[in-house]
Amino acid sequence: MKIKHKKGMSLLETLITITFIAVIGILVVVLLSRTLHSYRSNQETIRVQDKVAAAMRDFESVARGATEVITADSDQFEFYTYLAGDAHPAPSKIRYFFEEDAIKKGRIGPEGSGPDYTYPPENEVVEILSEDIISSELFLYYSDVNFDYDNEEATLLESPISTTAVRMINIRISSDKDPNLPPETITEVTLVSLRNLKNNL
């Protein structure tokens, strides 16, 4: 009776198998790495979009109630307004401004008694609305005389801005942590009408 011995894998076959498994492993690692990077990039995009959108909503809801414009610069808009739920008998002093690559919101409540209320600068409470802002040119200002949405330039107020003429504001917020890397720059633009200052009200 003859006994057949099973032949094992040769050294070459073993090396080929190991190489094949290694290549497959590298491909899996690369694929997982790219998937993780894509996921993180998408999450960062969503985070930035949410922050920019929240800053825009905040500006829209507060600025449209302005009762008097104090400062109208490209990087700062300051005004008086009555805030919802505010217990003060006089309006609060609000400013939206660019500082240290961020758009910020400052608020000062009135002090003293009417009609001579004061707004001490040291009382200002500042909060960061959105970071990684790539341009300090946030605001454009318009009068509302014959305003044409198809031709905004027709009523664009030129610098130096007359604060008494401001009736509408274009705000543009562009955020990008690193313009040289993905994700792409997130930009939101909106036009806000100062309803308490409209000439036709």
pLDDT digits (tens, 9 = 90+) for 74-83: 999 999 999 8
Query: What's the chain's average pLDDT?
Result: 85
The number of residues making up the chain comes to 201
pTM: 0.77
Average pLDDT over residues 89-113: 93
Say how far apart CA 90 and CA 87 lie, in whole Å. 9
Q: Is the pLDDT of residue 178 over 60?
A: yes
Distance CA 39, CA 130 (A): 22
CB of 135 closer than 8 Å to CB of 61: no
pLDDT tens digits, 30-86: 888 887 777 777 777 788 889 999 999 999 999 999 999 999 999 999 999 998 877
In this structure, what are the phi and psi dihedrals at residue 97, rounded to the nearest 5 degrees? Answer: -155, 160
Q: Within 13 A of 71's CA, how many CA atoms are on the CB side?
A: 11
**Alpha-carbon gap, residue 127 to 133, rounded angstroms:** 15
